[in-house]
C-alpha cells in the first residue's frame, strides 16, 4: 500500500463531492466537446466557434457560490480540452480565450472565485490536442482528420517532442501563474499514447517540484493498482460515468483513492437540447454510494458560450444542496463502514459515528447485525431527534442473531431521497 499517496490524498478524499466544469468554444457548436472528432470537422470549419465565443455573462463567482450551495468542496475546470483551445492566457499559443471576443483569461477568474469560496481548485488538461501542428492527425485513432488522405503527407514533418515540450510548458504556466493548485486532472491515454509518450515522468517531476501536495489523476498512464506504481501513475482512479461495484481496490483487494466523474445530463460540454438530466435524488444516491465505497463524486456542468450554467443544472444542484445541508455530515470525511451493505440502503462511517442511509426502506423498523453493544444513541441526522432502539417483542422467533434495532416513529416522515440515522459509537 502506498502510504504517501494515502496521506497526500486524504484532504481531497475527505471532500467527497466536487464540480467538474467542461467549458470551451465547443459550447458555441452546442454539440459536445467531441464534435470535431464526431463530424470530422477541420480547424478551419471549427473557427466560427472561436470567433463567436463571447463569454460575456461569465461570472465565476456565481459558479463558485452554486458549487458551495450544492455542498461541493472542490472544482475542476477544463483549461484545455481535446480541441486544443485554451481558456487561459498561455504564451505558447494564440488559440486561447484572450484572442476570442471573450478577450480575458477565463482561468484566472475561475481560480480566484472558487478559492474565495474556500473550495479546492483543480485544472483539467487534455493530453490530446487536435489543434497542435505536431500532434498526429492522419494516423491517430481519435483525431478529427484520422484517415484523411489530405493529411497523410503532413505526418512526416511532425515532431512529437515539440508537442510534449508545449504541454510541459503549458502545465508549468498553469501551476505557476495562478497560485497553488490543488488538483491536476489529465485526460487521457490510449494505445501507444501513454506514459512516457507524454514524457510523463519529466512532467510529473516538474509538477511535484512546484507543489508536492498536488493530487494527480491516473490518466497519464501506468497502473495505480500495483504495489509499486510507476512515478507518473497518479494518485487516484477515475472511473467515468459508472460507480464500480466494489469501489476501487488494488490487486490485493485494499481500497485505493478514487473519484467517479459523471455528467448531469448526457454530455460534458454544453448541448442546448440535451435535457436528459439526472434528478437530485439520483445525484444524492450516487454520492452516498460513492462515499460508502470510499470514493468521491465529481459531477459535471457544461456552461454555455456566454458563460451561464444551464438553468436546469442550477435547479438540480440547489435541490442537492438542501439535502446536503441537512445530511452532509454523513458524507464529508466519511467512508467505507465496517458493517456490510444492508438490504435497505447503505452505510457510511467515520471515527465517531456510523450513518445508516435508509433508501430502500419499506418499514420503520430495521435490524443491523454486528452492532450490538457498540452503539450509545441514535438520532435522525436531519433534525437531531432521538431514535428509539427498542427491540420488537418477538424478534427472536424470526432472527437468529441479536441485532441492533432502529425504530423510526413514522413512515411518513421518511425522506424520499435518503433518511440518515446517526449512530453514536460507544
Residues making contact with ligand GLC (CB under 6 A): 22, 33-34, 187-188, 240, 261, 268
Q: Which residue is nearest to ligand GLC (CB)?
A: 261
- Min dist CB 187 to ligand GLC, Å, is 5
Residue 170 or residue 419: which is nearer to ligand GLC going by CB?
A: 170
Pair 228, 207: CB distance under 8 Å: no
Residue 227 or residue 240: which is nearer to ligand GLC going by CB?
A: 240
Nearest one of 309, 304, 313 to 55, comparing CA atoms: 304
Residue 78 or residue 337: which is nearer to ligand GLC going by CB?
A: 78
Residue 3 or residue 191: which is nearer to ligand GLC going by CB?
A: 191
Residue 95 or residue 188: which is nearer to ligand GLC going by CB?
A: 188
- Min dist CB 34 to ligand GLC, Å, is 6
Rounded CA separation 77/58 (Å): 14
231-236: list long-range contacts, CB under 8 Å, 24+ apart: 231/200, 231/201, 231/204, 231/205, 232/195, 232/200, 232/201, 232/203, 232/204, 234/186, 235/5, 235/8, 235/9, 236/9, 236/12, 236/13, 236/296
Residue 47 or residue 241: which is nearer to ligand GLC going by CB?
A: 241
- Min dist CB 268 to ligand GLC, Å, is 5
Residue 44 neighbours by CB under 8 Å, 6+ apart? none
Rounded CA separation 360/344 (Å): 5
Residue 263 or residue 291: which is nearer to ligand GLC going by CB?
A: 263
Reading phi first (left if > 0) and then psi (alpha if -120 to 50, else beta), residue 195 is in: left
- Min dist CB 1 to ligand GLC, Å, is 26
Rg (CA), the chain: 24
- Min dist CB 263 to ligand GLC, Å, is 8
- Min dist CB 240 to ligand GLC, Å, is 5
**Sign (positive or negative) of CA dihedral 299, 200, 177, 12:** positive
Nearest one of 89, 120, 91 to 107, comparing CA atoms: 89
- Min dist CB 129 to ligand GLC, Å, is 12
Amino acid at each position: 500500500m502506498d502510504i504517501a499517496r494515502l496521506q497526500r490524498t486524504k484532504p481531497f478524499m475527505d471532500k467527497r463531492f466536487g464540480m467538474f466544469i467542461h467549458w470551451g468554444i465547443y459550447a458555441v457548436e452546442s454539440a459536445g466537446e467531441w464534435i470535431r472528432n464526431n463530424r470530422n470537422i477541420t480547424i478551419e470549419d471549427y473557427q466560427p466557434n472561436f470567433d463567436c465565443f463571447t463569454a460575456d455573462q461569465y461570472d465565476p463567482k456565481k459558479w463558485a457560490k452554486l458549487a458551495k450551495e450544492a455542498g461541493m468542496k472542490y472544482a475542476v475546470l477544463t483549461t484545455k480540452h481535446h480541441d486544443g483551445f485554451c481558456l487561459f492566457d498561455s504564451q505558447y499559443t494564440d488559440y486561447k480565450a484572450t484572442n476570442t471576443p471573450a478577450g480575458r483569461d477565463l482561468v484566472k477568474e475561475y481560480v480566484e472565485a472558487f478559492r474565495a469560496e474556500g473550495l479546492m481548485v483543480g485544472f483539467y488538461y487534455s493530453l490530446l490536442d487536435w489543434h497542435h501542428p505536431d500532434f498526429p492527425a492522419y494516423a491517430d485513432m481519435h483525431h478529427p482528420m484520422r484517415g484523411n488522405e489530405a493529411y497523410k503527407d503532413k505526418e512526416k514533418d511532425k515532431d512529437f517532442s515539440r508537442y510534449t515540450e508545449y504541454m510541459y510548458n503549458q502545465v508549468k504556466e498553469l501551476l505557476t501563474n495562478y497560485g497553488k493548485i490543488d488538483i491536476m486532472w489529465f485526460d487521457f491515454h490510449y494505445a501507444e499514447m501513454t506514459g512516457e509518450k507524454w514524457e510523463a515522468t519529466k512532467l510529473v517531476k516538474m509538477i511535484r517540484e512546484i507543489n508536492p501536495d498536488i493530487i494527480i489523476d491516473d490518466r497519464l498512464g501506468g497502473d495505480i493498482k500495483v504495489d509499486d506504481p510507476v512515478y507518473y501513475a497518479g494518485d487516484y482512479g477515475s472511473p467515468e460515468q459508472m460507480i464500480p461495484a466494489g469501489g476501487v481496490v488494488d490487486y490485493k483487494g485494499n481500497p485505493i483513492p478514487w473519484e467517479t466523474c459523471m455528467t448531469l445530463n448526457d454530455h460534458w460540454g454544453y448541448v442546448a437540447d440535451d435535457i436528459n438530466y439526472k434528478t437530485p435524488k439520483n445525484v444524492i444516491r450516487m454520492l452516498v454510494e460513492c462515499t460508502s465505497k470510499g470514493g468521491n463524486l465529481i459531477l459535471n456542468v457544461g456552461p454555455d458560450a456566454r458563460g451561464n450554467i444551464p438553468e436546469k443544472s442550477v435547479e438540480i444542484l440547489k435541490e442537492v444542496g438542501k439535502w446536503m445541508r441537512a445530511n452532509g455530515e454523513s458524507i464529508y470525511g466519511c467512508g467505507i463502514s465496517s458493517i456490510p451493505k444492508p438490504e435497505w440502503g447503505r452505510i457510511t462511517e467515520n471515527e465517531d459515528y456510523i450513518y445508516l442511509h435508509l433508501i430502500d426502506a419499506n418499514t420503520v423498523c430495521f435490524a443491523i447485525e454486528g452492532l450490538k453493544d457498540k452503539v450509545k444513541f441514535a438520532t435522525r441526522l436531519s433534525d437531531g431527534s432521538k431514535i428509539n432502539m427498542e427491540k420488537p417483542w418477538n424478534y427472536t422467533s424470526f432472527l437468529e442473531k441479536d441485532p441492533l434495532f432502529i425504530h423510526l416513529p413514522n413512515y411518513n416522515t421518511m425522506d424520499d431521497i435518503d433518511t440518515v440515522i446517526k449512530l453514536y459509537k460507544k
